[in-house]
Amino acid sequence: MMFMNPHEPTAYIAPTLVGLSGAVGGIRYVLPDIVRNLKRGIFLTKRYILISISNLNYSIQRSLLLFSLMTVAVTGMLAILASNIHSPREFTTGVIGYVVVIVLLVVSIIYKLSMEAMTRKTLFLNLWKIGYTKKELNKIVRQEVISYYFVLILIPLVYIVFISGRFIYYGDMSLQFAFIYVLSYVIPIIISGFITYVQYINAVVKPIKGGK
């Protein structure tokens, strides 16, 4: 749809929504079956991945709305900024709006994951009681957080690449601008990943007394 429609900023809204609905449907209805089959198959004896992938699936399912808002925000703002790149006033307003939206969504994601971590205290305590070390619990948390934020980066990034590629092809955007835009999205997500990891560890591993 992106390549068939005429090149204009509003032409990328409908394809993004259609693709996003497909991605949400895949995550909601297909991902649980994939995770279930993996847990019964190759991950059955993987003591770290077996736990982290279950937590990951639950966290992603609970974050579909935030994932959708993030994708719509970053792709929509990309088209707006690209179309106003030669209008300093509108471009500056767009940049401010983009920064505000990204910050609000990132903070919301950190808060949501932190709240979910608080509900898993008992789970990690029980894992420690049955023989998992604190080092292994840290590894489980690290795998889950890295995988979660990888998915969060990947879904919108697919649309960013295609949309910016179209604008570059038609001469409405420079490769440098597209690169900076990608970094402006990826870097805050990576930073929020580190924050989430620290908060997660403090919530579920640090309270455990004794052991290593």
> For residues 96 and 205, what is the distance between their CA atoms, to the nearest angstrom?
38
Which residue, among 155, 149, 143, has the nearest Cα to 54 in the 3D structure? 143
| pLDDT of amino acid 201 | 92
Joined tokens for residue 45:
């004896």
Q: What is the DSSP letter of 28?
A: I
The answer on pLDDT for 77 being more than 70 is yes
Interval 144-170: pLDDT, tens:
899 889 888 888 888 888 888 888 887
Between the CA atoms of 19, 28, 181 and 177, what dihedral angle is there, to the nearest 10 degrees?
Answer: -20
Which residue type is seen at 183?
L
At residue 94, the pLDDT reads 85
Q: At 171, list the tokens.
A: 């001469």
pLDDT of residue 189: 92
Q: What is the pLDDT of residue 66?
A: 84
The more confident residue out of 141 and 162 is: 141
**pTM metric for this prediction:** 0.84
- Pairwise CA distance, residues 156 & 69, whole Å: 10
pLDDT in tens, 102-127: 899 899 999 998 888 888 888 888 88
Question: Do 200 and 114 meet the contact criterion of CB atoms below 8 Å apart?
Answer: yes
* Residue 164 near residue 174 (C-beta atoms within 8 A): no
pLDDT band at 190 (very low <50, low <70, confident <90, very high): very high
